[in-house]
Amino acid sequence: MIPRSHVGSSGMDNEDVQSGVVLGLGSNLGDREAAIAQALARLEARGYRATQRSSLYLTEPVGGPPQDWFVNAVADGETALSPEALLEACLAVEQELGRVRREPNGPRTIDVDILLFGDLRLPGPAPVIPHPRLAERRFVLEPLAEILPERVHPVLGRTLRELLESCKDDSQVKRLAGARA
Considering the candidates 42, 53, 76, 111, report the single residue annotated as catalytic: 111
Q: Are 148 and 141 in contact (CB under 8 A)?
A: no
Residue 169 catalytic?
A: no
Considering the candidates 32, 49, 99, 138, report the single residue annotated as catalytic: 99
End-to-end alpha carbon distance in the chain = 31
Strand partners, 50: 77
Strand partners, 78: 19, 49
Q: Are 57 and 143 in contact (CB under 8 A)?
A: yes
Residue 113 catalytic?
A: yes
Render the burial of 80-109: b for 16+ CB within 10 Å, e for the rest: bbebeebbebbeebbeebebeeeeeeebbb
Considering the candidates 32, 42, 53, 113, report the single residue annotated as catalytic: 113
Considering the candidates 42, 53, 108, 151, report the single residue annotated as catalytic: 108
Residue 4 catalytic?
A: no
Smallest CA-to-CA distance from 170 within 62, 23, 88, 86 is with: 62
Render the burial of 157-181: b for 16+ CB within 10 Å, e for the rest: eebbbbbbeebebeeebeeeeeeeb
Q: Which positions are annotated as active-site residues?
A: 99, 108, 111, 113
